[in-house]
Structure 1
Amino acid sequence: MHDDSADSRSRFAEEARSERPDLTLLCLLIGAVADPSLDEAGMDAAQVELDRLAGMLPYGPKTPAAWAAALAGLLGDRCGFRGSAADYRRLESSLLHEVLRRRRGLPILLSAVWTEVARRAGAPVYGVALPGHFVVGFGDPEGSGERVLADPFAGGRPLSGAEAELLAVSATGAPLDPSALRPAATLDVVQRILNNIQGWATARPEQSAVALWAVELSLLLPSHPVRLRFERAELLIQRGDFLAGAAELDAYAEAVSAVEPATAEAVRGRARAARAMLN
């Protein structure tokens, strides 16, 4: 691991554990781990671009619907930020600096652009983690006033309640849980971005290095599923690092032994098999 990557990872861990984690910075640090050419100047340039876009929004108080329309007009229409099916096949679609450059990305990264630009301009905006499709909300999520959903993947098109329901049903087969409409926490957004990257890499066995750093960044988040330890171990073994993989399997077995003793025993057997590969 080169020093720049180690520095990006330590900064990522520090920011994730701060009192108010910064979504833009965390996304850019993911980008710096993915793309060693993204240096401090490149990260600053991405922040400047978000500031520049925010400065292009019309000034003054607006209703949630007017904010949604202003963002769609600027980012969707004038700047051409949107997504297509092809974007799911590219790692760049999950990297904020690339999304700002290409103006293409996955729903969650485009939503990050929308929320970060709108927030800088003073809009009441938040991310909404619908099952299978991330969108943005405008208004007060806790109040009784107007709330508007918009779909950045479709250029910021307004989304009716029925359409949000349909998205949830098509993704999960179940009705929309009202809790899904609440503002998404920053670290939950970051975890979902890393899950997307891991999923992209897992479907491409030659990209195991990408899957490994995505899992390792997830493990730096203050709260993460213990199963990630197992996934990291399997990736290390897949990449030929049998000793480190076996050690991680033993650590995972220890973590689950109290509640899943049979699983723990099977995992310890897998660790022994990994060590045997060195003989």
Structure 2
Amino acid sequence: MHDDPWRRRFTDEARSERPDLALLCLLIGTEADPGLDEAGLDAAQIELDRLAGLLPYGAKSPRAWAAALAALLGGRCDFRGSPGDYQRLESSLLHEVLRRRRGLPILLSVVWIEVARRAGAPVYGVALPGHFVVGFGEPGEQVLADPFAGGRLLTGSDAELLVAGATGAPLDASMLTPASPLDVVLRIVNNIRAWAAARPEQSSVALWAVELSLLLPSHPARLRYDRAQLLVQRGEFMTGAAELDAYADVVATVEPATAEAIRGRARAARARLN
């Protein structure tokens, strides 16, 4: 994987004691937008600070915090999403979501989390299957809001319907636990990979997304195989073959037959050079 200052910064931040969610999301943006520089990162953080400064001051109940965020971000500033946002890469990039005020549920939730956190709210992301939302308050008094819908408050049955629509399964209490910043970042890069996978001409986007996933402290080993496949697909046969062999070594002890099949793919990739 190529080494550059942005990626080193991403790696360092992901491994820090308290990873900065906004910064990690903005560093994802540097992969997609070569024009995003230090000034652009600063401007995005300043915008989050500015929005937080517009919230009414003082301690509030979870419900009052949710209402205040909905009034400011969903109402006054018109942050929300639409079905068309799923078709745009910008919907997964924090600096673009701040500019356009449109995005995927998880990126709109990042805006809410970062604005509310700066104002002192007890806020966190909630990674419901298929639809990311935000939570305020402790379990038992938890209030959920849907930034994609402009901050609509979710009742228990609303959340059950969202989960049932996405998975066909009932809502489990474990789904309502706060998502860590690294969980959020991994889900964002997975969304980007899914967007690129549906567009074969965007293999370069798929490649940087999987490479960022590999920089996170915890990631599935299979990502190395996915990266190798992308390299071969992009015509980087030698690098892809070497990566396939390395992954085969990882799985050989537990799945020797799988390892041999992967080595066969590596040989086939090298053969395409002749």
> Normalising by the residue count of structure 1, what TM-score does the alignment of the two structures yield?
0.97
Q: Deviations 1:66-95 (Å, cap 9, x if unpaired)? A: 000000000000000000000000000000
Q: Which amino acid aligns with 2:159?
A: A
Name the aligned partner's letter for residue 184 of structure 1.
Answer: A
Match of 1:219 among 204, 214, 221: 214
Give the CA deviation at 1:129.
0.2
Root mean square deviation of aligned Cα: 1.1
Deviation string 1:138-189 (CA, Å, 9 cap, x unpaired) is 0123xx4x21000000000000111111111111111112111000011010
Q: Counterparts of 1:95 and 1:217 in 2: how far apart (Å)?
A: 14
- Indicate the SS of the match to 1:65: helix
Match of 1:231 in 2: 226
**Residue 192 of structure 1 corresponds to which residue in structure 2?**
187
The unaligned stretches of length 5 or more in structure 2 are: none
Q: 1 CA distance for matches of 2:203 and 2:68?
A: 41
Q: Aligned residue for 1:175?
A: 170
Aligned ranges 1:110-259 → 2 under 5 Å: 110-141=108-139, 144=140, 146-259=141-254
Q: How far, CA to CA, are the matches of 2:59 and 2:167 in structure 1?
A: 38
Give 1:275 shift.
0.4
Question: CA shift at 1:194, angstroms?
Answer: 0.2
Partner SS, residue 57 of structure 1 = coil
CA distance in 1, matches of 2:61, 2:116: 13
User: Which residue of 101, 123, 127 corresponds with 1:103?
Assistant: 101
After TM superposition, give the deviation of residue 34 of structure 1 in Å: 1.1
CA-to-aligned-CA distance 1:20-58 (integer Å, 9 cap, x gap): 111000000000111110000000000000000000000
What letter matches 1:9 in structure 2? R
The counterpart of 1:47, out of the listed 45, 59, 67, is: 45
Post-superposition offset of 1:122: 0.3
Q: Tell me the secondary structure at the aligned position of residue 143 of structure 2.
A: strand
| Matched position secondary structure for 1:222 | coil
**3-state SS of the aligned residue for 1:264?**
helix
CA distance, structure 2, for counterparts of residue 7 and residue 61 of structure 1: 40
| Counterpart residue identity of residue 90, structure 1 | R
Code of the residue aligned with 1:56 in structure 2: it is: L
Which residue of the partner structure matches residue 57 of structure 1? 55
Q: How far apart, CA to CA, are the structure 1 residues paired with 2:107 and 2:113?
A: 10
C-alpha distance in structure 1 between counterparts of 2:8 and 2:32, whole Å: 14
Deviation at 1:255, TM superposition (A): 0.9
5+ long unaligned stretches in structure 1 = none
SS at match of 2:169: coil
CA distance in 2, matches of 1:211, 1:268: 23
Query: Deviation string for 1:91-143 (max 9, x for gaps)?
Result: 000000000000000000000000000000000000000000000000123xx
Offset, 1:61: 1.3
Query: Structure 1 residue 258: deviation in Å?
Result: 1.3
Q: Which residue of 2 aligns with 1:33?
A: 31
Query: In the TM superposition, what is the alpha-carbon distance from 1:259 to its structure 2 partner?
Result: 1.4
